[in-house]
A and B are shown apart, each in its own frame.
Chain A
Amino acid sequence: MLTRPDDGKLTFTYDGRAVRARTGDSIAAALLAAGIQVTRATPVSGASRGPYCMMGACFECLAVVDGRPSVQTCMTEVRDGMRVERQDGARGLAVGA
């Protein structure tokens, strides 16, 4: 487990659950600090995956951020009030233009 004493003053949600973050945190780092290691289920087999490289190379940490799928959470800074959701399998396309 990765932890830290001060979890920060920002708040975002992951699958509806409130998660704390510090200014400058990547979403992935804040999730790991909260003990959340899974961000998606793969579109190939549905296996659970989460951050692996933390530097934008592995594409394992993808999640849906404010309605946008396939966002690399390790390369995206947390904003207060962000809505992050686990990406379940292949992403969908919103109906309509």
Chain B
Amino acid sequence: MSYDVAVIGGGMVGTAIAYGCATRGARTVLLDQGDLSLRAARANAGLIYSQGKGEGLPAYAAWTRRSIDLWPDFAAMMEAASGRSIGFRQRGVIAYCLGHAELETRRALLHRMHNQSGGPAAPVHVIDRRELEAMLPDATLGPRVVGATYSPRDCDVNALPLLRALYAGFLQAEGVHLPECTVGRIAPVGTGFAITSDRDTVHAGKVVVACGLGIPALAPGVGLRAPVRPVRGQMIVTERLTPFLPIPGSGVRQIHEGVVQIGTTTEEGLTTPATTVGDLARMAARAVKVIPALAQARLVRSWAGIRPMTPDGCPIYQQSPEHPGAFVAVCHSGVTLCAAHTGPLAEAILAGTLPADVSDLHPDRFDAHAT
């Protein structure tokens, strides 16, 4: 059986690309590991977030903007296809500032983004405490909250139902899901590729390596390059609370089931998805400084996910120069870019190219900065 496209990696990036290909009529196979593979997708805070994206790399800001523009229609399509809510809301995102130093740091960031070619990925401005209180009438803010930066067009979504909807949509579009495979080798064969896993070998005209931290092992074999390193993120979730926080914050957000998600940490080089009391305590302490009443809420569980981080934190997309038809795609913000991945990225891959938007997101940019 030969496929048009083989996607390696069933996380947020791979599943989105596979969905985009299958729903455009391509015979698509998605190779995926098992239940416990390092699923970055499950460590995601669910924000569709623009603030600070692409500082120093305007193409990333523009690509983020494109995805956010596409998200509302994409969300509607996901909900229609899966028949269930994915919790999509477009109410903006708040980045709380505790103390004036934090506010000034963020103000300076906004200033730099505004001055950059193309500007910030999405509109963002500083708001003071009074405006913040007016936006959140049911939440009493802690005394150290001096204000925030607010990006009104940003959104949030429930990452797990989103992933589920992508899977369901992929299968509905007659995509083939091969689970519990660990791909060991990609070999160019004729005009396509043979992808060998511990279970099987599949053949496809095109192959997309989208397996996050598994990329460095596979990419060089087909002339692809995407340096990534593991970064651990820990998160906390509370019991269900009555609704009081209608707008998500970058560190604290209440989803529609009522639970509040708090997080995340960013820890370099750790690959054990364990949580540590010190980090949980720091996250809890910050959340309580933002909204003191959260001190009474019970933390029901914490978890950690291992996520891929590129050298500059921006995505990498590449088509192999030696083996056209082989692609790599990796990013840290798989939810924000999901709409772009299912849309223009998948479409371009099927046409044997990458969107013009991402030409600066090529791995060769790392050579330019070599010292």
Q: Which residues of A contact B (CB under 8 A)?
A: 43-44, 68-70, 89-97
Chain B: residues with Cβ within 8 Å of the partner, total of 17
B293 within 8 Å of A by Cβ? yes
Complex partner residue of A97 from B142, B240, B297, CB under 8 angstroms = B142
Complex partner residue of A92 from B140, B242, B295, B298, CB under 8 angstroms = B242
B258 within 8 Å of A by Cβ? yes
Nearest Cβ distance between residue A77 and chain B, in whole angstroms?
20
Nearest Cβ distance between residue A40 and chain B, in whole angstroms?
12
In the complex the two chains form, is A89's CB within 8 Å of B242's CB? yes
Given contact pairs A44-B257, A97-B295, enumerate 6 new A-B contacts (beta carbons under 8 Å): A70-B239, A90-B240, A90-B241, A90-B258, A93-B242, A96-B293
Complex partner residue of B239 from A91, A94, A95, A97, CB under 8 angstroms = A91
In the complex the two chains form, is B142's CB within 8 Å of A93's CB? no
Complex partner residue of B296 from A43, A44, A94, CB under 8 angstroms = A94
Nearest B residue to A43 via CB reads B240
Bound CA–CA A18/B270 (angstroms):
55
The interface residues of chain A, by DSSP majority, are classed as loop
Taking CB atoms, residues of chain A closer than 8 Å to B295 are 97
Complex partner residue of A95 from B140, B257, B294, CB under 8 angstroms = B140
Taking CB atoms, residues of chain B closer than 8 Å to A89 are 242
Number of A-B contacts (CB under 8 A): 42
Taking CB atoms, residues of chain B closer than 8 Å to A70 are 239, 298
Nearest Cβ distance between residue A47 and chain B, in whole angstroms?
14
Nearest Cβ distance between residue A58 and chain B, in whole angstroms?
14
Nearest Cβ distance between residue B221 and chain A, in whole angstroms?
48
Q: Can you report 27 residue pairs joining A to B where beta carbons are below 8 Å apart?
A: A43-B258, A44-B240, A44-B257, A68-B296, A69-B296, A70-B298, A89-B242, A90-B240, A90-B242, A91-B239, A91-B240, A91-B241, A91-B242, A92-B241, A92-B242, A93-B244, A93-B293, A93-B294, A93-B296, A93-B297, A94-B293, A94-B296, A95-B140, A96-B140, A96-B292, A97-B292, A97-B295
